[in-house]
Amino acid sequence: ILGMHGDGPGKSGTPVKTAIVVASHEPLLVDIAVCKYLGVSPHSLPTVKAAMVLERGLSVEDVEFDERFEREFKLPNLGPVVFGPAFLHGFMRRHLTERPVLSGRCMLCKECINHCPAGAIKDGGKEVSFDYDKCIRCYCCTEVCPAGVLHPAEPVLGRMLQKVFKRW
The CATH number that domain 86-167 falls under is: 3.30.70.20
Nearest-angstrom CA–CA distance, 118 and 55: 9
Average pLDDT, the chain: 80
Please state, in angstroms and as integers, the Cα–Cα distance from residue 86 to each residue in 90, 92, 154, 162, following that order: 8, 10, 21, 22
- What are the helix (H) ranges across 73-148? 89-95, 111-115, 140-144
- Range 50-54 average pLDDT: 71
End-to-end CA distance of the chain: 44
In the chain, ranges of CATH 3.30.70.20 domains: 86-167
> Which residues are within 8 A (CB) of 90 and not within 5 positions of it... i.e. 6 or more apart?
none
> Which residues are within 8 A (CB) of 57 and not within 5 positions of it... i.e. 6 or more apart?
none
Provide the whole-model pTM: 0.54
Residue 31 contacts residue 47 (beta carbons within 8 Å): yes
pLDDT number for residue 159: 81
- Smallest Cα–Cα separation from 96: which of 46, 144, 165, 36? 165
Say yes or no to pLDDT of 115 above 70.
yes
